[in-house]
Amino acid sequence: MTRSSKKLLGVAVAAFVFFLAVNIPAQVIQPFLVGTPADMSGLSGTLWNGAAQNFSVDQLRFGAARWRWKPGGLLAGRMEFDFQAGVPGQQLSGRFGLSLNGRIHASNANLELSLTRLGAMPFGTQARIIVAIESLAMAGDWPEHASGTIRLHDTSMNVPDKLALGDFEGHFRIENGGNLLADFFDLDGALEIDGTLDLDAKGNYQVTGLIRPRGRISRRLGNILNFMPRENGAYELSFSGSL
């Protein structure tokens, strides 16, 4: 075989391998999801640019999903994809990646869902949650570090009728695999709130803070506040539970 023939054969083999790689079907993902909280069905497209008719994480069902490979992640030693899935009121999107050491990364990610999807809340509290993740890294079932913002929109309680409370925002962080810590405050509504949230890896949480009425409040809301300890014109917020 001449040198030119060997070069042509090498180019042909490389082209064939490249063709196989870029056309890896999306179905190869499914075996890797076994034993994880995530599940996909109705897969189509390729590993690099694909879709699923149904995507879920535990009991959260997001409906159809799409993803596209972002080769720039290779510069950081990661396989990164832009991912989007959701149905009205429950959505997940952002850039997600897997590093060579097995860590899962997320950045510029957003999660939207109803508070009731996380379990029973005190006083029948309801809200629409929007979580904006600036950065996150996981090596197991709990993040090694994370930072971002949580917003509660249209917050209300059923006591026994619906009582509107307004919108709230919290800035959260996880450092060195520790608890999720968040400082939260009100954005509007009848109450001024300044508090903290402490959530551990098992889903146990503790909420503490101070509540002050903003101007004149309804009688029903006043009756609820009167069950709380009061000092220097502020009501002490303190409750705990498990997700």
For the chain (length 243 residues), average pLDDT per consecutive 10?
Answer: 45 38 70 80 88 89 92 86 91 90 89 78 81 90 91 83 86 90 90 92 91 83 83 87 81
Q: Which domain holds residue 69?
A: 3-242
Specify the pLDDT at position 119.
Answer: 66
Q: Across-strand partners of 148? A: 133, 172
Instruction: Give the C-alpha distances (Å, rounded to integers) separating 152 from 43, 131, 211, 212, 236.
Output: 33, 9, 16, 18, 20
Structure tokens at 57: 């994480």
Picking from 166, 153, 163, the residue whose alpha carbon sits closest to that of residue 193 is: 166
Provide the b/e sequence for 127-152 (b: ≥16 CB within 10 Å). Answer: bbbbbbbeebbbeeeebbebebbbbb
Specify the pLDDT at position 95.
Answer: 94
How far apart CA 188 and CA 133 sit, in angstroms, is 23
Picking from 132, 184, 181, the residue whose alpha carbon sits closest to that of residue 155 is: 184
Alpha helices in the chain (DSSP H): 3-22, 30-33, 219-225
Q: How many domains does the chain have?
A: 1
Specify the pLDDT at position 196.
Answer: 94
Residues 6+ apart with CB under 8 A from 157: 123, 124, 125, 126, 163, 165, 224
> Token pair 């997001």 is at which residue?
62
Terminal CA-to-CA distance of the chain, rounded, Å?
69
Specify the pLDDT at position 92.
Answer: 94
Specify the pLDDT at position 3.
Answer: 52
DSSP state of 103: -
Picking from 166, 168, 163, the residue whose alpha carbon sits closest to that of residue 152 is: 168
Specify the pLDDT at position 13.
Answer: 40
What H or E segment, with its residue span, contains residue 111? strand 104-114
Specify the pLDDT at position 85.
Answer: 94
How many Cα atoms within 13 Å fall on the side-chain side of residue 50? 23
Q: Across-strand partners of 220? A: none
